[in-house]
Amino acid sequence: MTIRDFSIRLGLTLIPIILSILATAGLILLLGGDPISVYSTLYESAFQDQTTVARVLNVWIPLTLVSIGLVVTFTAGLWNIGVEGQMVMGAVFASWGALFLDLPPILLIPINLVLATIGGLLWGVLVGILKTRLGVHEIFGGVALNAIANNIAIFLIAGPWEPPEGGSAQSTAPFPENALLPTFSVDFPVPTVLLVITIVGLVIVGFLLYFTRWGLELKAVGKNARSALLLGVRTERVSLMALALGGAFAGLAGAHRVLHFYASLRPLVSGGIGFLGLLLVLLVGFRIIWMPFVGFVLAGLLAGSTRLQALQRIRPELVGDSSLVGVLQGLLVLMILYFNGIRERWFARDKARKANIHE
Amino acid sequence: MNDALINTLNSIIASATPLIIASLGETITERAGVINLSLNGSILLSAMAGFAVATVTSSLWLGILIAMLIGAVIAFLVAFGSLTLKQDQVAIGFVLTLLTADLAQFLGTDFQNIEGPVAREITIPLLSDIPILGGIFFEHDAFVYFSFVLLAVVWIFMFRSRAGLSLRAVGERPEAAFSRGVNVTTQQYLYTIIGGALVGLAGAAYSLGVKAGWQATPAMNGDGWIALAIVIFGGWHPARVVFGAYLFAILRSLVSIIQRDPNIDIPVVLLNNLPWILMIVTLALVSGGVIDRLLQMLPLHWQRRLRGILRSNPPEALGQVFNNQK
């Protein structure tokens, strides 16, 4: 790669980032806010000190967990939009354990994590069965199962799992202390178990994808399912496996939401983190290596948006909430996709021109 | 027939209207071989913008125009990203559906829960005097009448005009269309944008019609996905698509009737699952092998006739970007 090529590549990566930040700033101005205050608040509330970093990590853990699963499903060529519902089902299963099993933490926590994994896995497999057996595309199966999972959660919160003092349909009773995930410390409230699982999961799945026959089969199915089938890969089984694994990771992410973040089950418990995971995986172009780092930035933005909203009462120039951060993240991914296209066109043309000169 | 039933049927027609407009728009787009997956967000953003503009300017027409413009611009972004920049069509559409939904939320804060203009009911003279049918079909706002006309126009255009023939050729056999001198990419741009404008109009049909106004949790959220599923259920055929939209509206109205009935005690949230379950079941019926297995139980000549009606095959080149340099 020549210096010229490198600087073009660098430029075509930086321009979309700058453009999306500027465009979002324009929108903030449009609503009468002050973009610089908004951005600096977002930055401070994410990366200022230990407490804020812990806040970001508590978004980063579920985000990275769902994204690990999504890399697997994307590699198999599947659009696992059902990841949100898989998170919710994981959360629901873990909540059942937290509410109704009275065991010491040493037993209860592993059991609840396993329950969450099973919940997400089942919901993922359901998408897979709908696709492989009944021909329902995973996007539609996923969208429907997302809505159904959320409805089930709302039903449980407002009905059978209503707190004894009568509920507002806003959440179940807070979970007992022994069901909550133990954290590093009071000053650094990040659940140790899930942080470890996340990092180990990243490494293992990365290894499996790049260095094993299974990873190769996934890629073969993702690139061209028909040829893979002709070469003897059992494509249906590979798809089901990928969705099961994706669901399992999403279920664990759901466990983080209920066993730590909210310490109860709430409606729309995923908080859009599943969809953010899809954006993250698109943003890094399916490369698992970049995922934890870029994910940290996205998690920081999402965590910062809560702070932004909290500060609005005293500082009206801070407009926006999680939807503002959603706009910024969406624009970023859209711009990156566009500039990928522009780069590919540029280098194709460049190559053609060079080829002409040499002739 | 009693008045209550006529009223119910009337409201079914009204509530199906935005779904019809959106899914007919998407049918046009997908017939040209392009998937615009951004429907859910597109509808939300155009609904919000249409309502906001109509409220500020107190002009319904301007609101509708802006809604259509926004739908068209989003569709253009899908076409540009996938047809010109050759990026994944589904990815672009999906990102846009999230982005536009958030944009609607962010920009619409000031317009939540306020009174705004609503398209008024126009009773069609003479036709509305027809017993029963008049009350069901001819006492609506203009969006509903437009949806009737739209079906006819799309059908005639698609199956009885030269331009419609080339539209279908572009979606089925782009190479053949190209070799006959059709500019495939231009046509795909055109029909994606037209389809998008209709999706935008559907947004306006919600916020200025059946689901008037704008809320923090918009009532039409999710309908874009249903509209996309209806296109598949409808086998990319305008008449069947409209039938599918009415089917969904009927089911929803049944759900709300059951909700109001004090004798039936099923929690509302679980009833809300029914449209989604119907979506999965109908998609499984038309796209899987289920239909074939069922058909095999019938006599042979029935099989052939019914298969043509029931099966749903996508346009051959749906979602594949045509590259004329190949």
CA atoms within 13 Å, Cβ hemisphere of A127: 37
Q: How far apart are CA B283 and CA A10, in angstroms?
A: 44
The predicted pLDDT at position B123 comes to 87
Q: Which residues on chain A are in Cβ contact (under 8 Å) with B91? A: 282, 337
Q: How many contacts (CB atoms, under 8 Å) link A and B?
A: 134
The predicted pLDDT at position A56 comes to 93
Whether residue A27 has pLDDT greater than 80: yes
> Per residue in B244-273, pLDDT tens?
999 999 988 888 888 887 777 777 778 888
Q: Which residues on chain B are in Cβ contact (under 8 Å) with A134? A: 283-284, 287-288, 290
Q: How far apart are CA B283 and CA B275, in angstroms?
A: 12
The mean pLDDT value of chain A amounts to 90
Work out the percent of chain B whose per-residue pLDDT is above 90.
Answer: 60
A327-340 average pLDDT score:
94
- What pLDDT band is residue A347 in, cutting at 50, 70 and 90? confident
Distance from CA of B34 to the nearest CA of A (A): 16
> Per residue in B97-113, pLDDT tens?
999 999 999 999 889 98
Lowest mean pLDDT segment, chosen from A36-50, A198-212, A229-243: A36-50
Cα B146 from chain centroid? 13
B269 touches chain A (CB under 8 A): yes
Task: Say whether B287 and A135 touch across the interface (CB within 8 A).
Answer: yes
Cα A62 from chain centroid? 7
Work out the percent of chain A whose per-residue pLDDT is above 70.
Answer: 98
B292 touches chain A (CB under 8 A): no
B211-240 average pLDDT score:
91
3-state secondary structure of A191: strand
A242-270 average pLDDT score:
95
> Per residue in A276-292, pLDDT tens?
999 999 999 889 999 99
Task: Say whether B287 and A331 touch across the interface (CB within 8 A).
Answer: no
Q: How far apart are CA A40 and CA A172, in angstroms?
A: 35
Under 8 Å between Cβ of B15 and B216: no
> Per residue in A69-89, pLDDT tens?
999 999 999 999 999 999 999
Whether residue B135 has pLDDT greater than 70: yes
Q: How far apart are CA B108 and CA A338, in angstroms?
A: 27
Lowest mean pLDDT segment, chosen from A4-8, A137-141, A235-239, A269-273: A4-8
ipTM of model: 0.92
The predicted pLDDT at position B289 comes to 66
B175 touches chain A (CB under 8 A): no
pTM (two decimals): 0.93
The predicted pLDDT at position A114 comes to 97
Work out the percent of chain B whose per-residue pLDDT is above 70.
Answer: 96
- What pLDDT band is residue B16 in, cutting at 50, 70 and 90? very high
Instruction: State the SS3 of chain B.
Output: CCHHHHHHHHHHHHHHHHHHHHHHHHHHHHHCCCCCCCHHHHHHHHHHHHHHHHHHHCCHHHHHHHHHHHHHHHHHHHHHHHHHCCCCHHHHHHHHHHHHHHHHHHHCHHHCCCCCCCCCCEECCCHHHCCCHHHHHCEECHHHHHHHHHHHHHHHHHHHCHHHHHHHHHHHCHHHHHHCCCCHHHHHHHHHHHHHHHHHHHHHHHHHHHCCCCCCCCCCCCHHHHHHHHHHHCCCCHHHHHHHHHHHHHHHHHHHHHHHCCCCCCCHHHHCCHHHHHHHHHHHHHHCCHHHHHHCCCCHHHHHHHHHHHCCCCCCCCCCCCCCCC
Whether residue B325 has pLDDT greater than 70: no
The residue type found at B164 is G
The predicted pLDDT at position A60 comes to 96
The predicted pLDDT at position B326 comes to 46
Residue in B37, B99, B273 closest to A331 by CB: B99
Angle at CA of residue B136, ends B133 and B137, nearest 5°? 80
Under 8 Å between Cβ of B151 and B20: yes
Pair of tokens at residue A356 = 């002409």
Greater confidence, B66 or B294?
A: B66
B116-145 average pLDDT score:
88
B225-241 average pLDDT score:
93
Q: Which residue of A has its CA nearest to B267?
A: A155
> Per residue in A110-162, pLDDT tens?
999 999 999 999 999 999 999 998 889 999 999 999 999 999 999 999 888 88
Q: Which residues on chain A are in Cβ contact (under 8 Å) with B284? A: 130, 134-136
